Amino acid sequence: MNVRAAVADDALRAEERREVSLWVLSGNARGVGFYRAAGLAPVAGSAQRFDLGGRQVEEVQMLRSLDAGVPSAARN
């Protein structure tokens, strides 16, 4: 993890955030790659299709837990 990512994580934790989540168009390979490099992973089953400017597109949710190693049952 780089220094900027560590600072961002610390700021999110200070606000008692447990995860970072976003949506990205599935066909946006550069965007998906960028977010993967930042530690986010696609959420299984999250893909949704919708109309954007008369075209059907698909987006997927990506998620990164800030509580690495902490079981989800132990999170608030």
Q: What is the pLDDT of residues 38-75, one digit of tens each?
A: 888 999 999 999 999 999 999 999 998 887 544 344 44
72 inside domain:
no
42 inside domain:
yes
Sorted by sequence, the CB contacts under 8 Å of residue 76 that are 6+ apart come out as 16, 18
Q: Is the pLDDT of residue 8 over 90?
A: no
Q: What is the pLDDT of residue 39?
A: 84
Instruction: Give how many domains the chain has, as a whole number.
Output: 1
76 inside domain:
no
Looking up residue 15, the CATH number of its domain turns out to be 3.40.630.30
75 inside domain:
no
Give the CA radius of gyration of the chain: 15
What is the C-alpha separation between 23 and 9, in angstroms, rounded? 19
19 inside domain:
yes
Range of the structural domain that residue 28 is part of: 3-67
Contact 38, 5 (CB under 8 A): yes
